[in-house]
A = this chain, B = another copy of it.
Amino acid sequence: MASKAFAVIAGVGPGTGAACARRFASAYPVALLARNPENYESLVQEINKNGGKAIGISTDVSKEDSVKAAFKKIEEEYSGATCAAAIFNASGPFARKPLLEMSVESFAKSWEVSVQGALIFSQASLPHLLKHAEDSSAKYPPTLIFTGATASVKANAQMSGFAAPKFALRALSTSIAKEFAPKGVHVAHAVIDGVIDIPRTKDWLKDMPAEAKIGADDIAESYWNLHLQSKRCFTNEIDIRPMLEKW
Q: Which residues of A contact B (CB under 8 A)?
A: 64, 98-100, 102, 104, 107-108, 111-112, 115-116, 119-120, 122-123, 126-127, 141, 151, 155-160, 163-176, 178-182, 184, 186, 197, 210-211, 213-215, 218-219, 221-222, 225, 228-247
Give the docked Cα–Cα distance between A104 and B237 (Å).
Answer: 25
Copies of this chain, complex-wide, total 4
Q: Does the CB pair A171–B155 fall under 8 Å?
A: yes
Q: Does the CB pair B234–A182 fall under 8 Å?
A: no
Q: Is the interface of A mostly helix, strand, loop or mixed?
A: helix
Q: Does the CB pair A171–B176 fall under 8 Å?
A: no
Give the docked Cα–Cα distance between A166 and B172 (Å).
Answer: 11
Partner of A179, one of B99, B184, B215, B222: B99
Contacts A99-B122, A123-B100, A168-B167 given; does A239 touch B240 at CB 8 Å: no
The 4 closest A-B pairs by CB, nearest first: A218-B233, A215-B232, A160-B175, A157-B178
Give the docked Cα–Cα distance between A226 and B121 (Å).
Answer: 29
Give the docked Cα–Cα distance between A135 and B170 (Å).
Answer: 38
Q: Does the CB pair B247–A178 fall under 8 Å?
A: yes
Q: How far is the CB of A88 from chain B (nearest CB, A)?
A: 14
Give the docked Cα–Cα distance between A123 and B141 (Å).
Answer: 39
Q: Does the CB pair B247–A243 fall under 8 Å?
A: no
Q: How far is the CB of A162 from chain B (nearest CB, A)?
A: 9
Q: How far is the CB of A169 from chain B (nearest CB, A)?
A: 7
Q: Which residues of B contact A231 (CB under 8 A)?
A: 211, 242-243
- A184-B243, A215-B232, A234-B241 known; 10 other A-B pairs, CB under 8 Å? A64-B104, A99-B176, A115-B168, A155-B171, A157-B178, A164-B172, A181-B243, A181-B245, A210-B232, A218-B230
Give the docked Cα–Cα distance between A244 and B218 (Å).
Answer: 29
Q: Which residues of B contact A211 (CB under 8 A)?
A: 231-232
Give the docked Cα–Cα distance between A239 and B237 (Å).
Answer: 6
Q: Does the CB pair A160–B171 fall under 8 Å?
A: yes
Contacts A155-B174, A174-B155 given; does A214 touch B232 at CB 8 Å: yes
Most buried by B among A104, A157, A168, A240: A168
Q: Does the CB pair B111–A115 fall under 8 Å?
A: yes
Q: Does the CB pair A141–B111 fall under 8 Å?
A: no
